[in-house]
Amino acid sequence: MDKEASNGADWETWQASFINETFANLRRLTAIPFLPDKMEQVRKGVTPREVVYEEDRLKVYHYIGEGEPGFKTPLCLVFALVNRPYIMDLKEGRSIIAQYVKAGFDTYLIDWGSPTRAERFLTTDDYVNGYILNVVNFVRERTSSDNVNLLGYCMGGTLSTMFTALHQNLVKNLVLLATGIDYSSRESLLNLWTDPRYFDVDKFVDTVGNIPAEFLQSAFLLLKPVSNLVDKYINLAENVHRDEFVDDYLHMETWLNDNIPVPGEVYREFAKYLFQQNLLVKNRMPLGRHMVDLRKITCPLLNLMASSDHLVPCSQSAALNDLVSSTDKEKIVWPAGHIGLAVSARAQKELWPRAVEWLVKRTD
């Protein structure tokens, strides 16, 4: 009797499940024609901004907050050379920049622009001691401040770290997100693929010049082939009727597919000196006439890393806190991936207010 009753209950649950799924499928089907419209509505950056500085391909955006900035020391954001920087201001409620602007920081962002063949011989030195230095000096002059707060993301974090080591007097606080410093671990596939036994970086750069965006994009996709080429699309198909999901998905995809080439010489230096020889942790990273010595970093440091980062694993970032001379240093490992660290709903709600507070306490 009990068994029969249980079978009856099972049958009802099954029926309900089939009916729900059928209706969900209908909702999914009816949502598909609206996708192109939604795609067109995707904006690249949401916080009001103005271009205040230009040099070659580079532009510096100044973000306009409500009222006067609450702090004298401005904040300068440095993004990687491989993608566009609007991930830091992706959409309403998913913007690191908006969080800092709202807190009263005078915020600036470097957009590197897309390098042409003329930029293929630019080196890391040109970026660190050329562009970043010029931007920092410009921002200091514009805000009448002695130094700036620097926030670097991914490769931008590595550039910011090098800059701080060489120009410590110009940096008040350093905030890093998913920044590669110690490349000795073989946890990330990228480190493995750039092993000198299997990858001749000189031959590659000499032949292709600037590293094509398509090459970088394929490499990133291949890091997680199942997730990037199968899982993602199944998720979209299942959630295509949910407006919020689709909006997030389209913003992310727009950004992920908006790659730019990397100047050949910068790529050569990163692959050779960092991925292959790991010179930064040995304080022997050459930058033009200079040598980057991480021990020269003395300012407060906040090192944010993601526990599920497949691109820059925690082991690659965490080492920095032991290599600098700063006494005020903190690291936070957040349960997210490389991008989720910046834009996931939870990170925006819990991590970033903490990171903003950290900077507030240390800024005039």
Partner 1 sequence: MTDNTDKIFDQAAAFQKLWMDSLTEMAGIWSQYSAGSPPIDEMRKMRGGMLKVLAETWDEYMRTPQFLEMMKASLNGALDLKRMAREGMNRVHEQFENPSKQDVDAVLLAIRHVERRLLDRLEGLDDRVANLNERIDNVDEGIAKQEKAIERLEQTVRTKVEKPAPTPRKATRAE
Q: Which range touches partner 1 (CB under 8 A), out of 63-71, 199-207, 240-248, 343-351?
A: 199-207
Return d(Cα 120, Cα 231) in angstroms, integer. Answer: 36
Q: How far is the CB of 307 from partner 1 (least distance, A)?
A: 17
Q: Does 17 bind partner 1 (CB under 8 A)?
A: yes
Q: Which is nearer to partner 1, 126 or 182 (CB)?
A: 126
Which DSSP string do the residues of 49-105 spell out, in sequence order? Answer: EEEEEEETTEEEEEE--SSS-S-SS-EEEE--SSB-GGGGB-STT-BHHHHHHHTT-
| Catalytic residue chosen out of the listed positions 154, 248, 251, 299 | 154
Return d(Cα 362, Cα 220) in angstroms, integer. Answer: 36
Report yes or no: 332 and 304 within 8 Å, Cβ to Cβ: yes
Q: Which is nearer to partner 1, 15 or 325 (CB)?
A: 15
Q: How far is the CB of 207 from partner 1 (least distance, A)?
A: 5
Return d(Cα 186, Cα 317) in angstroms, integer. Answer: 13
Q: Which range touches partner 1 (CB under 8 A), out of 31-39, 71-79, 220-228, 298-306?
A: 220-228
- What tokens were used for 42? 């995707």
Return d(Cα 200, Cα 271) in angstroms, integer. Answer: 10
223 to 262: interface string for partner 1, x by CB under 8 A: -xxxx--xx--x----------------------------
Q: How far is the CB of 76 from partner 1 (least distance, A)?
A: 22
Q: Which is nearer to partner 1, 13 or 307 (CB)?
A: 13
Is 154 labeled as catalytic in the residue annotation? yes
Q: How far is the CB of 17 from partner 1 (least distance, A)?
A: 4
204, 213, 256, 354: which one binds partner 1 (CB under 8 A): 204
189, 256, 281, 318: which one binds partner 1 (CB under 8 A): 189
End-to-end CA distance of the chain: 76
Return d(Cα 224, Cα 189) in angstroms, integer. Answer: 10
Report yes or no: 93 and 39 within 8 Å, Cβ to Cβ: no
Is 76 labeled as catalytic in the residue annotation? no
Is 309 labeled as catalytic in the residue annotation? yes
CA atoms within 13 A on the CB side of 114: 7
261 to 290: interface string for partner 1, x by CB under 8 A: ---------------------------xx-
CA atoms within 13 A on the CB side of 210: 18
Q: Which residues bind partner 1 (CB under 8 A)?
A: 10, 13-14, 16-18, 21, 117-118, 120-121, 186, 189, 192-193, 195, 197-200, 203-204, 207-209, 222, 224-227, 230-231, 234, 288-289
Enzyme catalytic residues: 154, 309, 338
